[in-house]
């Protein structure tokens, strides 16, 4: 007897189908109806049971956000074992005719009533699990620990990075916004026209919120503070495109003068000369700051001081920039989220 399987892969270039099946169909993000389908799939997950978000549903939600391919096919029940190895390599969750959502082994990640098997392993790419373990070991040497349930960040095989040119323009825009924030604080506001003449590429790349702030006659004190903090987001952006050689541990403020000097230096160079650090380096930084952000928030909530001096504001801004850089939730700069 054959069964209909819908498999949802997060891998950018999934492995070739190497098992016997029939009526195979595949579609990806280039299909204009695919995103709507994925939204409907998530709606199905949330309507099950009590409809409340929990750790398992959140993991399913994150998986669906990263899905790049859907495979639909029929396979004989007694040949299902042939699918398993491919399923783990393709990092899929599967939707079955009985309404269950399963991992490649068949472990139930969610039943139609919202329940799930506690021992059902959630699929993550192997390299993402390795990175998570490496970061956890490093933090443990500093006396900092995160719950084992905190998932890995996006893997090399899943991530779609911003381009070097896009990051460079974003870095210049953040630099201009932070400079203007300092000027507002010191009551020495620069005419936006002068900022545009000084750094046209950065000015053209301003987000809606940044443009409104720079052109504001009298921003709120909180807006000035928020935009001043953006220097800490600028550091990982410049580091990512090799404008800064190091991204030190998040226990000190950045060197603002160095950030502005580098930004203005590269502002006059051709944008095509910008190079990006390795994916491995970028994701290592993301995983570290994701876990540091959880630790910082946990200590703040519990009103405790971490054993290693860490600065939540610095970590939060770095996490923000790294999430944008790795296209977290496909959000534009003004809409980036940093959940932990």
Using CB atoms within 10 Å of the CB of residue 33, give its burial: 0 to 12 exposed, 13 to 18 middle, 19+ buried.
exposed
Q: Is the pLDDT of residue 11 over 90?
A: yes
Model confidence at 314: pLDDT above 90: yes
Asked whether residue 106 carries a pLDDT value surpassing 80, the answer given is: yes
pLDDT at 212: 97
Q: Give the pLDDT confidence score for residue 48 in this predicted structure.
A: 87
> pLDDT tens across 68-91, in order?
999 999 999 888 999 999 999 999
Inform me whether the pLDDT recorded for 254 exceeds 90. Answer: yes
pLDDT digits over 132-179, tens only?
Answer: 999 999 999 999 999 999 999 999 999 999 999 999 999 999 999 999
Task: Please give the average per-residue pLDDT across 182-196, as a whole number.
Answer: 91
In angstroms, the CA 146 to CA 298 distance is: 9
CA nearest neighbour of 15 among 89, 126, 92: 89
- Return the minimum-mean-pLDDT range out of 19-28, 200-209, 215-224, 260-269: 260-269
Name the band, by pLDDT with cuts 50, 70 and 90, for residue 338: very high
pLDDT band at 197 (very low <50, low <70, confident <90, very high): very high
pTM for this predicted structure: 0.94
């Amino acid at each position: 007897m054959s069964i209909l399987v819908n498999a949802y892969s997060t891998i950018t270039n999934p492995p070739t189908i190497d098992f016997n099946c029939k009526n195979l169909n595949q579609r990806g993000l280039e299909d204009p109806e695919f995103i709507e389908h994925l939204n409907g799939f998530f709606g199905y997950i949330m309507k099950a049971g009590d409809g409340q978000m929990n750790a398992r549903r959140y993991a399913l939600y994150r998986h669906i956000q990263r899905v790049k391919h859907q495979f639909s096919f029929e396979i004989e029940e007694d040949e299902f074992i042939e699918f398993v190895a491919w399923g783990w390599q393709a990092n899929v969750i599967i939707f079955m005719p009985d309404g269950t959502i399963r991992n490649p082994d068949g472990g139930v990640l969610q039943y139609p009533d919202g329940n799930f098997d506690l021992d059902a392993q959630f699929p993550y790419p192997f390299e993402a699990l390795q990175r998570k373990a490496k970061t956890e070991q490093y933090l443990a040497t500093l006396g900092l620990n995160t719950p084992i349930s905190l998932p890995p960040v996006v893997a090399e095989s899943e991530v779609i990075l911003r381009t070097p040119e896009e990051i460079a323009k974003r870095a210049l825009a953040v630099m201009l916004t932070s400079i203007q924030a300092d000027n507002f604080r010191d009551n020495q506001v620069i005419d936006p026209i002068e900022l545009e003449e000084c750094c046209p590429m950065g000015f053209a790349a301003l987000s809606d919120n940044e443009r409104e702030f720079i052109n504001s006659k009298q921003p709120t004190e909180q807006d000035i503070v928020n935009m001043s903090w953006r220097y800490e987001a600028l550091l990982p952006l410049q580091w990512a495109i090799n404008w800064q050689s190091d991204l030190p541990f998040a226990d000190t403020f950045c060197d603002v003068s160095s950030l502005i000097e580098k930004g203005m230096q590269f502002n006059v160079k051709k944008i095509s000369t910008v190079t990006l650090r390795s994916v491995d380096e970028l994701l290592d930084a993301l995983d570290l700051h994701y876990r540091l952000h959880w630790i910082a928030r946990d200590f703040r909530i519990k009103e405790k001081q971490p054993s290693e001096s860490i600065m939540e504001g610095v970590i939060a801004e770095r996490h923000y920039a790294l999430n944008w850089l790795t296209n977290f939730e496909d959000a534009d700069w003004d809409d980036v989220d940093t959940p932990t």
